[in-house]
Amino acid sequence: MGDYQVLNTRATRVDGPVKATGQAKYADDFKFQGMLYASILQSPLAHARILRIDTSKAKKLPGVKAVVTSKEAGLIKYGVSPARYDETLFAHDKVRYVGDEIAAVAASDPDIALEALSLIKVDYEELPAVFDMFEAMKEGAPLIHDEFPGNMNAEVHQEFGDTEAALQSCDLVVDHTFLNKRQDAAFLEPHSCVAVFENPGRLTLYTSTQVPHYVMRTVAMTLQIPVGNVRVIKPYVGGGFGPKCEATPLEMSCGLLSKITGQPVKMTYSREQVFLHSRARHQFYAEMSLGVMKDGTMVALRNKAVLDGGAYTSFGIATVYYSGSLLGGPYKLKSMKYDGYRAYTNKPACGAQRGHGGVAHRACFEQLIDITAEKLGIDPIDMRLKNIMVTGDMTVNELDMSSLGMKECIEAIRAGSGWNNKKGKLPKGKGIGMACGFFVSGAGYPIYRSDTYHSTVVIKLSEDGGVANVMTGSAEIGQGSDTAMAMIAAETLGIKLNDVRVYSGDTDYSVDLGAYSSRQTLMTGHATKEAAEDVKNQIASYLAQELNVPVASITFVDGIVKFDGGPGNFEKLRTNYIKEHRGWTDPPTGEYLTFREAARMAYLKAGTIVGTGKYKPPRLGGSYKGAAVGTSPAYGCSAQIVEVSVDLETGEITVDGMTDAHDCGLAINKTSVEGQMQGSLSMGLGECLFEEVKFDSRGRIINPSLGEYKIPTALDMPKVKSIIVESHEPNGPYGAKEVGEGAIMPTIPAILNAIYDATGVRINELPVTSERLFMAMKNKT
């Protein structure tokens, strides 16, 4: 690890104070003169033909300024991946789930907007619906999209090596299946947006999103506004976790209504609408066979996935690829076969959520490894270590582990949890389990086909030279990216963290694909570093010329400039600076030239000092179909050990302790890294033990609230021991890589393996409520 001034510390977040005092502004906190309030009419039926929409009464309601349906919005198809644009802003021929958008209203008051919705009359012809993914794929099932026979939204078939032959050659082949449940991301801030359309034709959106860039493109496309005239500003965002990775009907409706009325338009989803919009974790069914040799060597993996996609594609194509590609590691395999199917059903669309596509299949695989290890009489940790990949290894599906501290993570949790004294030695009802996982640090390609940079950054110095303003389109959504970028800029420029200001989340600042696939630390980080180097080089060249010293002799550290490691002879610059600085209150002092002085003097010579940086990944991965999903410049990895107590009478589970080690390359900010690890664990614990979006027989969500859809509270979470394992990632800025999603990978299987250890019962369906565990224990005896 290098000798850093700013990086690798526990610097406090740059947005901490505004958030602690309530000053931080989120989308719903914005108000504009003449602002209207909008609301969306959503389908009460899961599958129906729309015969007629009558908005005349709604239009006549005093206070209503505009009512829009597909007639006004048009039928331009959009979605996430251009290969599967299957949505229109408003349904016109059919509705496909309870919640499908039909119309929107803007009114002078939110209550009037709601009343207007109730006055819109829609005549439907109800159609048979299908809610189960297996039913949906059967012959004769109701067809949801005419273009997709068999409701088959996407299919993936990949094979690396000859899997069947490899399985045949194994000493032992073990099978396992697994079923998770549809999850909600349950971010605390419901989606909200204010659209401001101003003449001549410019639309600005203030919106709660993870991806200002993609929202800009989608909104421009669907509303037929030149993309250069759309600006998306992301204020502070109250969590995203994946579902805020795409443009929403809320954003497009606000934009359209503002365009029509010429007034600013705001809309905020109710909590129920957040559930209806969904785009969160799919339901996955996993079926796997692992072939091993007697000594525990893993040889081949056969993996099948069925995904319940809901009514539209959203991120689903990437999801169904990830369920296969993210099993290629962190264990060496000779061959791997994957068949994935994503089915349409008449439910809200599922999309990306933390650990995109990988979480359920990882849960299945890591249980399967434990089952296999037990059959072979090998300790689960030893079994994993025997097969573990190390830095420089390549998975069968050509993911290049350019750094991989997986082994170190396992050793760290083994020591940190006291595994050796506990495994196999705990009383009945107590259990310990472990699991591993890894995740990408950004996707190799943007979601649309383009040679675009994935990130550009502009750094502009202030007039007095003292402040570096970092301008980026990247999205701070709570993960701490603004702080990470400030730290990278400060370290690179050799100035204090306090002297960096980050302006982010605005499509006018720079190009950045946004906060998804755990990409910003690596990609925006690279661009920030490059921009800072550009600035630094400009100042150093100026100094070299002015003072007649070699550029190589100049270094910047902690806000001062050194020449050959010493103060050098800079008197003439200081004298000039002070002359320039007359009347200001903070003359430079000290035996060293300050960065501020140097930057100011460079400005006098060259004009405003601006540095730019950019990043796009090199060509990555194999040439097989689908190689684009899963390939990344770098992979973070983690290992976890969970300890549980199970009440053998009732099946009630208490998670007593969690030990988590994550390799994030260089930890830019250790506190933020731990924060991501701990947050991931609580989301994984929730999904494992109680989270499930439930539907009635007509496709209506029966628990669309945070009271009925339970997420972990402070009482559900045990103390977590977080261990940061640092490797050096050659493809990351300063050796850094992801932490935000990889950390959730091992959580579910580690809990499930611990439950097995405590009870002798294998649970292969989530959530593990006490009822489910009780029944499983009962059926076993």
Amino acid identity at 128:
P
Q: Which of ligand FES, another protein, none sits in contact with 663, Cβ below 5 to 8 A by type?
A: none
Under the binding rule (CB under 8 A), the answer on residue 711 touching another protein is: yes
Radius of gyration of the chain (CA): 28
- Of ligand FES, another protein, none, which one does residue 678 interact with (CB within 5 to 8 Å by kind)? another protein
**Which of 44, 239, 567, 568 is close enough to bind ligand FES by CB under 6 A?**
239
Complex with another protein: residue 24 or 114, whichever CB lies closer: 24
Contact partner at residue 707 from another protein, ligand FES, none, CB < 5 to 8 Å by partner kind: another protein
Q: Does 10 sit near another protein (CB under 8 A)?
A: yes
Q: Which is nearer to another protein, 420 or 654 (CB)?
A: 654
Q: Minimum Å distance from CB 478 to ligand FES?
A: 5
Indicate the residue among 27 and 539 with the shorter CB distance to another protein: 27
Interface of this chain with another protein, residues 657 to 686, rule: CB under 8 A: 671-672, 674-675, 678-683
The nearest distance, CB 188 to ligand FES, in angstroms, is 4
With binding defined as CB under 6 A, does residue 272 bind ligand FES? no
Encoded amino acid at 270, one letter = S
For ligand FES, which is the closer residue by CB, 16 or 590?
A: 16
DSSP 157: E
- Helix crossing, 670-689 with 747-759: angle to 10°? 50
- Residue at token pair 């419901």: 190
Distance of CA 474 to the CA centre of its chain: 13
Print the binding letters for residues 222-241 with another protein: x by CB under 8 A, - otherwise.
Answer: --------------xxxx-x
Q: Is 285 in the site for another protein (CB under 8 A)?
A: no
Residue 741 touches which member of another protein, ligand FES, none, C-beta under 5-8 Å by kind: none
Distance CA 234, CA 237 (A): 7
Q: Which is nearer to ligand FES, 478 or 621 (CB)?
A: 478
Least CB distance to ligand FES at residue 15 (A): 11
Of the candidate residues 79, 348, 357, 478, the single one contacting ligand FES (CB under 6 A)? 478
Q: How far is the CB of 700 from another protein (least distance, A)?
A: 18
Give 12 or 650: the residue with its C-beta nearer to another protein: 12
Contact status: 75 vs ligand FES (CB under 6 A): no
User: Buried b vs exposed e over 339-375: b needs ≥16 C-beta within 10 Å?
Assistant: bbbbbbbbbbbbbbbbbbbbbbbbbbbbbbbbbbbee
599 CB-near residues (< 8 Å, 6+ apart): 461, 465, 466, 539, 609
Whole-angstrom distance, CA of residue 72 vs CA of residue 554: 62
Binding residue count for ligand FES, defined by CB under 6 A: 3
- The site map against ligand FES for 198-237 (x = CB under 6 A) is ----------------------------------------
Site string for ligand FES, 154-193 (x = CB under 6 A): ----------------------------------x-----
The residue within the footprint of another protein, chosen from 6, 7, 28, 599 (CB under 8 A), is: 28
When CB distances are held under 5 to 8 angstroms depending on the partner's kind, the choice from ligand FES, another protein, none that residue 551 binds is: none
Question: Is residue 712 within the footprint of ligand FES (CB under 6 A)?
Answer: no
Does residue 567 interact with ligand FES by CB under 6 A?
Answer: no
Q: How far is the CB of 706 from ligand FES (least distance, A)?
A: 7
For residues 260 and 92, give the distance between their C-alpha atoms in angstroms, rounded to a whole number: 20
Smallest gap from Cβ 427 to another protein, in A, equals: 23
- Residue 271 CB, nearest distance to ligand FES (Å)? 8
Other CB atoms within 10 Å distance of the CB of residue 487: 28
Q: Up-side HSE of residue 127: CA atoms within 13 Å toward CB?
A: 21
- Residues 6 or more apart from 666 whose CB is under 8 A from it? 1, 7, 8, 726, 728, 729, 732, 734, 735, 736
What's the closest the beta carbon of residue 539 comes to ligand FES, in angstroms?
38
Closest by CA to 232, choosing from 242, 247, 249, 243, is 247
Closest CB 139 distance from another protein, rounded Å: 41
- Please identify, using beta-carbon distances, which residue of 161 and 239 lies nearer to ligand FES: 239
Q: What angle do the packed helices 249-261 and 212-223 form, to 10 degrees?
A: 50
CB 679 to ligand FES: min, Å: 8
Which x/- pattern, by CB under 8 A, does the window 461-500 give for another protein? ----------------xxxx--------------------
Q: How far apart are CA 147 and CA 296, in angstroms?
A: 47
We find the least distance from the C-beta atom of residue 484 to ligand FES, in angstroms, to be: 16
DSSP designation for 13: P
What six digits make up the tokens of 780?
């076993």
Q: How far is the CB of 268 from another protein (least distance, A)?
A: 8
Report the interhelical angle of 571-580 vs 595-606 (nearest 10°).
70
* Beta carbon of residue 187, minimum distance to ligand FES (angstroms, whole number): 7
Q: Whole-angstrom distance between the N-terminal and C-terminal Cα of the chain?
A: 54
Provide φ and ψ at 339, rounded to 5°: -130, 120
Nearer to another protein, 271 or 772 (CB): 271
Does 20 interact with another protein (rule: CB under 8 A)? yes
Nearer to ligand FES, 478 or 665 (CB): 478
If we measure between CA atoms, which residue out of 760, 115, 169 comes closest to residue 431? 760
**Closest distance of CB 194 from another protein, Å:** 13
Among 105, 113, 119, 185, binds another protein (CB under 8 A): 185
In 3D, which of 485, 526, 727 has the Cα closest to residue 615?
Answer: 526
Sheet containing 152-160, strands listed edge to edge, beginning at the edge strand earlier in sequence: 152-160, 335-344, 298-310, 283-292, 172-179
CA dist., res. 49 & res. 102, Å (int): 12
CB 518 within 8 A of CB 739: yes
Side-chain half-sphere of 343: how many Cα atoms within 13 Å?
24
Selected from 271, 386, 501, 762, the binder of another protein by CB under 8 A is 271
Using CB under 8 A as the binding rule, whether residue 19 contacts another protein is answered as yes
Residue 96: name the closest of 68, 122, 127 by CA.
Answer: 127
- Shortest Cβ distance from residue 105 to ligand FES (Å)? 24
Q: Rule CB under 8 A: is residue 268 a binding residue for another protein?
A: yes
Among 51, 188, 293, 551, binds another protein (CB under 8 A): 188
Are residues 271 and 705 in contact, defined by beta-carbon separation less than 8 angstroms? yes
Tell me 736's DSSP state: B
Cα–Cα distance, 703 to 747 (Å, whole number) = 24
Return the one option of another protein, ligand FES, none that residue 715 interacts with (CB less than 5 to 8 A, by type): another protein
Size of the site for another protein (CB under 8 A): 57
Q: What is the 3-state secondary structure (H, E, C) of 316-380?
A: HHHHHHHHHHCCCCCECCCEEEEEEEEEECCCCCCCCCCCCCCHHHHHHHHHHHHHHHHHHCCCH
Kindly give, in sequence order, each residue whose CB lies less than 8 Å from that of residue 3, ignoring residues fewer than 6 positions away: none
Residue 505 near another protein by CB under 8 A: no
By C-beta, is 21 or 199 nearer to ligand FES? Answer: 21
Q: Which positions lie near another protein, rule CB under 8 A?
A: 10, 12-13, 15-26, 28-29, 31, 185-190, 236-239, 241, 268, 270-271, 477-480, 671-672, 674-675, 678-683, 705-707, 711-715, 717, 719-720
Q: Which positions lie near ligand FES, rule CB under 6 A?
A: 188, 239, 478
